[in-house]
């Protein structure tokens, strides 16, 4: 693995990680330092292990072997690409966060509904919202959790350009308010707009990582060069 890592103020360290599913190795990472002090994008082909990596960092899944450690006390919010909604109103779905944090007030909930642009849809059935509206509701849940690390799995997949722009603005707000962001994306233009740092994962391994500019200008591994070439042709 090519590693061009600078020193990070906050980071996540993976050691001797193996994650398997149905006998197949999904992740195999001998050692990696992942920054948690800037917006970081995780990119790679379909099935490379990006979602599994996010779930591992969150603690949603445990490795078959190896360790995940943090240089800080993590308070993590994970927003998956397909987050289920209960058959209730949008605001009721948002209020579910109160079950784990009783300090959240009705005023907080109303403020966040306004912040994510859903204040007029509070009484609408959550499962009937558009894909973009559901995603903004999920981001609202994350905002209410007051995390110091936000993990986002394909946060703008299948969204129209206008909604994509709104979601990207919310991602920037997390960063501006002190919540660092690690997100996966297939949209290379989006990665270049948002991220400062890249993690390139392929076949369950982190093959390359480093600042965004040098990665796109001059990828160091054949796998990264091949991936960028294929994605840019697809665009």
Chain segment 166-225, per-residue pLDDT in tens: 999 999 999 888 899 999 998 999 999 999 999 999 999 999 999 999 999 999 999 999
CATH among 3.30.70.1380, 3.60.15.10, 3.40.50.300, 3.90.1070.10 for 2-82+147-234: 3.40.50.300
- Written as one string, the DSSP assignment of 69-136 is EESS---EEEE-SS----SSBHHHHHHGGGGT-TT--HHHHHHHHHHTT-GGGTTSBGGGS-HHHHHH
Tell if the pTM clears 0.75, that is, is over it: yes
User: Is 83 a residue whose pLDDT tops 80?
Assistant: no
Q: How far apart are CA 213 and CA 60, in angstroms?
A: 32
Are 167 and 139 in contact by the 8 Å Cβ rule? The answer is: yes
State residue 232's pLDDT score: 61
Q: How many residues does the chain have?
A: 235
Q: How far apart are CA 201 and CA 205, in angstroms?
A: 5
User: Is 72 a residue whose pLDDT tops 80?
Assistant: yes
Name the pairing type of β-strands 65-70 and 11-21.
antiparallel
Q: What angle do CA 40, 41, 42 make, to 5 degrees?
A: 125
User: Is 26 a residue whose pLDDT tops 60?
Assistant: yes
Distance between the two ends of the chain, CA-based, in angstroms? 27
Question: Residue 99: which region, alpha, beta or left (left: phi > 0; alpha: psi -120 to 50)?
Answer: alpha
State residue 3's pLDDT score: 47
Percent of the chain residues past pLDDT 90, beyond the cut? 77
* Mean pLDDT in residue range 139-148: 93
Q: How far apart are CA 165 and CA 157, in angstroms?
A: 12
Are 126 and 137 in contact by the 8 Å Cβ rule? The answer is: yes
Chain segment 86-113, per-residue pLDDT in tens: 889 999 999 988 888 889 999 999 999 9
**Paired tokens of 14:** 């993976």
* Mean pLDDT in residue range 3-25: 84
Number of H helices, E strands in the chain: 8, 10
């Amino acid at each position: 693995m090519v590693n061009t890592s600078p020193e990070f103020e906050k980071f996540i360290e993976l050691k001797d990680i193996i994650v398997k599913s149905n006998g197949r190795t999904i992740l195999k990472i001998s050692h990696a330092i992942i920054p948690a002090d800037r917006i970081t994008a995780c990119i790679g082909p379909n099935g490379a292990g990006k979602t599994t990596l996010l779930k591992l960092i969150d603690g949603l899944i445990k490795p078959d072997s190896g360790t995940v450690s943090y240089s800080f006390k993590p308070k993590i919010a994970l927003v998956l690409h397909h987050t289920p909604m209960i058959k209730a109103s949008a605001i009721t779905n948002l209020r579910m966060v109160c079950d784990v944090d009783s300090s959240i007030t009705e005023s907080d909930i109303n403020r966040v509904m306004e912040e994510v642009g859903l204040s007029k849809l509070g009484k609408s059935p959550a499962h009937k919202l558009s894909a973009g509206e559901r995603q903004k509701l999920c981001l609202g849940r994350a905002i209410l959790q007051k995390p110091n690390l936000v993990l986002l799995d394909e946060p703008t997949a299948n969204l129209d350009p206008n909604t994509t722009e709104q979601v990207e603005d919310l991602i920037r707000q997390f960063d501006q308010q002190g919540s660092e962001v690690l997100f996966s994306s297939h949209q290379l233009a989006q990665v270049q707009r948002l991220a400062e740092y890249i993690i390139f994962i392929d076949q369950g391994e982190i093959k390359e990582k480093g600042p965004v500019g040098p990665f796109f200008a001059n990828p160091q591994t054949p796998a990264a060069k091949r991936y960028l070439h294929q994605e840019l042709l697809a665009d």
